[in-house]
Amino acid sequence: MSLYCGIACRRKSFWCYRPLSTYVTKTRYLFELKEDDDACKKAQQTGAFYLFHNLAPLLQKSGHQYLAPQHSLLELERLLGKFGQDSQRIEDSVLIGCSEQQEAWFALDLGLNSSSSINASLQKPEVEKELTGSFTELRKALYQLNVKDASLLSTAQALLRWHDTHQFCSRSGQPTKKNMAGSKRVCSSNKIIYYPQVPKP
């Protein structure tokens, strides 16, 4: 009896430990991407991108639900090239999370004026036609998304909005620059660091 209880307890401990271990691994990986621009840029090579237009996420209708399609870096570069934009615009993307397999997830708004590129915003109808989806107001689609997508898109929208409204330093009035992950902005004049007050991935 005691042997059985011992085995059962060890099995229970293993399954309790595994989610904790996964959480710690993901947290460490995300911290690395936030602090190391080179690591974050490398993660974009194999990562997935969620697209927005003026803070509205790109969604695809599937029955009574909405799906949030992911796009690879290569697909995104092809899309930008087709609309006459350079890949530098991808630097406006923000890190919003990662999978258990350490696939990084990013969000990029194609409608807001780019801060890292001279290119203007992309036209919504043309992009929707190209991607066979629609940029839908998040609050209207929130309850028709699965839990994972709803959480990710909410975080992404809040982070994209924060960056759009904090492009200038409140003290010097000079432009601020985001790091690769979008976890902070730094004033180009006095080096003040601004951190987003939104849910973090």
For 54-108, write each residue's pLDDT tens digit.
Answer: 999 999 998 889 999 999 999 999 999 999 888 899 999 999 999 999 999 999 9
* Interval 28-44: pLDDT, tens: 999 999 999 999 999 99
Q: Compute and round to an integer the Cα radius of gyration of the chain.
A: 20
State the DSSP string of 117-172.
SS--PPPHHHHHHHHT-EE--HHHHGGGS-HHHHHHHHHHHHHHHHHHT-SB-TTT
Position 130 pLDDT exceeds 70: yes
pLDDT of residue 86: 86
The second-level CATH assignment, the architecture, of 2-194 is Alpha-Beta Complex (3.90)
β 104-109/94-98 pair status: antiparallel
Confidence of residue 8 (pLDDT cuts 50, 70, 90): very low
* Interval 42-53: pLDDT, tens: 999 999 999 999
Confidence of residue 199 (pLDDT cuts 50, 70, 90): low
Mean pLDDT estimate for the chain: 87
pLDDT of residue 64: 84
CB-CB neighbours of 74 under 10 Å:
9
Percent of the chain with pLDDT over 90: 71
Domain regions of the chain by residue span: 2-194
Angle at CA of residue 174, ends 168 and 180, nearest 5°: 60
Indicate the pTM of the whole model.
Answer: 0.86
Contact 86, 58 (CB under 8 A): no
